[in-house]
Structure 1
Amino acid sequence: MSGTLYGIGLGPGDPELMTLKAHRLISSARVIAYPAPDTGPSFARSIAARYLPETVREIPIIVPMRVERFPAQEIYDKAAEEIAAVLESGKDVITLCEGDPFFYGSFMYLFERLSGHFPCEIVPGVTSLTACAAQLLRPLTSRMDILTVIPGPLPDEDIRTRIETAQSLAIMKVGRHLPRLKALLAEMGLLDQAGYVERASLPDQKVSRLADVPDGPAPYFSMILIYKGDEAWTLPPSFSS
C-alpha cells in the first residue's frame, strides 16, 4: 500500500493562522517537502518550523527566483520522482504550501504529476486574499458583487478590461510591476479607492493607501485591493486622506 500525498495550506505567514488539521499532520510528519528559493530560507518551512518533528526527513524543492517562466518544469519533474519513491515505500509525504495549495499554490504542480498514481488529500489554508482584506479592515465583497483576481504581470489592457467589469478586485503578484499598476489605476480614477498590503500577518507587514506607497518594486508577497461595488465601504480613516 502506498503512502498519501498531502498538500498542506499554511496560511499567509502567521503560524497561528494554520488550521488545526495542518498542525496535526505537520507535527506527526515523517517526511515533508516544501518549495525553497535558491538563495535564502524557505518561507513555507519557516511558517511550520516550530511544529516539525526533530527526526523528520526533508525534501526541499529548490526553485530559482527568476523573471523567466515559472515553474521550471524539470524541477517539479525531479521533485515528483523523489516524492513518488517515498510514497511507493508506504510513507506519507506532507507538502507545505504558503496560503492555500489550490490558490496560486506551488503544490498544484506536484498534484498534477502524482495525483493519478497515489492517494492525495488537500488541506485548505487561509489565503493571502482574505488575509490582506482582514489587515486592510475593509470587507472584500458582498451579495451580488463580482470579485476579480488579477495577476499583476498581465498587460495593462487586459487588467483594464477586467477592472471595468468587477465590483471588487485584488491584484496579486505586484512586485516589480507596482509603478505601472499605480499609473494605470490613477488613469482609471481608482487610486484613492485602492488599499495596499505587503507581507500580510507577518511582523514586518505594511498596510496603507496605495497612493501613499512609494514608486519602486514591491515585495512578491504584496497585494492591491479595490472595492467599487454598491456598498459604502471605504478605506479606514487611518488610511484615508
Structure 2
Amino acid sequence: MTRPGTIWGIGLGPGDPDLMSVRADRLLRAARHVAYFRKAGRPGQARRIVEGMLPEGVDEIAMEYPVTTEIPLTDPRYNALLSAFYEDCTRRLRALSDAGEEVVVISEGDPFFYGSFMHLYTRLRDVAPVRVVPAITGMSAAWTATGTPITWGDDVLCILMGTLSEEDLVAQMRRSDALVIMKIGRNIDKVRRALRTAGRYDAAWLVEYASMEGQTVQRLSAAEGRVTPYFSIILVHGEGRRP
C-alpha cells in the first residue's frame, strides 16, 4: 500500500519573505505541490509573497473562493457556498495525499489565526497526515511598525473583527486595555464610530500593508473619510504597569 503523503499548512508570516520561518522556507523550496487560496482572477497574496521561491516544475493548485463580499455574511447561501468549496478543496488535497504525494498549503500570517487553512485542517486531520508550521501574524508586524509595545504588565489585549456589530465593538473596546481591530475595509466607518463611543478614537493607529511594500503607519484620525485596504489593522496600545 502507498503511504499517505503529508499535507503541510505553512504560515508565510505578515508579508515580507524575510520574516518567514526557516522551516517554512525549506519546505516551500522543496515542494512538488503548492496550494493557495485566492480570489478569482487574482494571483492571491500568499502566492505573491513566495514569488521567485518555488522550485521549477512545481504543481500549483489555486483554490479560488466562490464568494467574497458579493453575499452578506448573514445570508445562508454564504456558508453553504463556502462549505462546498472547502469540501472540494479537501478532496483535491486528500487525493494527492492518498497517492503518496506531499502537499504544501501556504497561508498569509499564521495558519491557525483566522485563516482559510483552518477549514481544510478540520476536514483533513482525521483522514490524512496534516502538519502545521506556525508563523508571525500580521498584527505582530503592525504593532512593531508603530514603534510602540502593544501591551505592558497586566494589560488585557482584545482582538476584534470589524465585521462585529457596532454594539459589540463598543462593549469590547471599553472592556479591554489594548486593541487590535482586523477585517476593517468596508467596516471602517462603523469601527470609527465605535472607537469614538468607547472613548478610544484619539489613541488609535492605522497600519496598512504591515511589513509589505507600501506600508504606512499613521494616526487613525489622519485617515478620516477614507476606506482602508484589506491588509490594514487598527491598534490601540495598552498603557499598563511597568517598572
- Tell me whether the two structures share a fold, i.e. TM-score over 0.5: yes
User: Which runs of no fewer than 5 residues in structure 2 stay unpaired?
Assistant: none
Q: 2:224 aligns with which of 208, 214, 239?
A: 214
Q: 1:227 aligns with which of 205, 220, 237?
A: 237
Query: 1:176 maps to which residue?
Result: 186
Name the TM-score, length of structure 1 as normaliser. 0.92
| Residues 150-187 of structure 1: per-residue CA shift (max 9 Å, x gap) | 00010111111111111111010010111221122123
| Distance apart, 1:10 and its partner CA | 0.3
| Residues 93-151 of structure 1: per-residue CA shift (max 9 Å, x gap) | 10000000000111101101111111111101110110100111111112211110000
Report which stretch shifted further, 56-65 or 98-107: 56-65
| Distance apart, 1:231 and its partner CA | 5.0
Q: Describe how 1:149-168 pairs up with structure 2 within 5 A.
A: 149-168=159-178
Q: Describe how 1:47-196 pairs up with structure 2 within 5 A.
A: 47-63=49-65, 64-68=67-71, 69=73, 72-196=82-206
Distance 2:70 2:210 in 1: 23
In structure 1, what residue type is equivalent to 2:197?
Answer: E
Query: 2:14 maps to which residue?
Result: 12
Distance 2:13 2:178 in 1: 22
Query: 2:46 maps to which residue?
Result: 44
| Distance apart, 1:205 and its partner CA | 1.5
In structure 1, what residue type is equivalent to 2:31?
Answer: A
The 8 Å contact of residues 155 and 238 in structure 2, kept in 1 or not, is answered as: no
The 8 Å contact of residues 38 and 65 in structure 1, kept in 2 or not, is answered as: no
Distance 1:129 1:142 in 2: 16
| Distance apart, 1:66 and its partner CA | 2.0
Distance 1:151 1:52 in 2: 33
Instruction: Give SS of 1:49's match.
Output: coil
Distance 2:174 2:189 in 1: 20
Name the TM-score, length of structure 2 as normaliser. 0.91
The 8 Å contact of residues 178 and 215 in structure 1, kept in 2 or not, is answered as: no
In structure 2, what residue type is equivalent to 1:65?
Answer: T
Instruction: Give SS of 1:229's match.
Output: coil
The 8 Å contact of residues 140 and 168 in structure 1, kept in 2 or not, is answered as: yes
Counting matched residue pairs gives 232
Matched, 1:26 2:28: yes
The 8 Å contact of residues 26 and 94 in structure 1, kept in 2 or not, is answered as: yes
Instruction: Give SS of 2:51's match.
Output: helix
Over aligned residue pairs, what C-alpha RMSD do you find?
1.5
Instruction: Give SS of 1:160's match.
Output: helix
In structure 2, what residue type is equivalent to 1:10?
Answer: L
The 8 Å contact of residues 176 and 216 in structure 1, kept in 2 or not, is answered as: no
| Distance apart, 1:39 and its partner CA | 2.5
Instruction: Give SS of 1:50's match.
Output: coil
| Distance apart, 1:215 and its partner CA | 1.6
Instruction: Give SS of 2:52's match.
Output: helix
| Distance apart, 1:228 and its partner CA | 4.1
Distance 2:181 2:93 in 1: 33
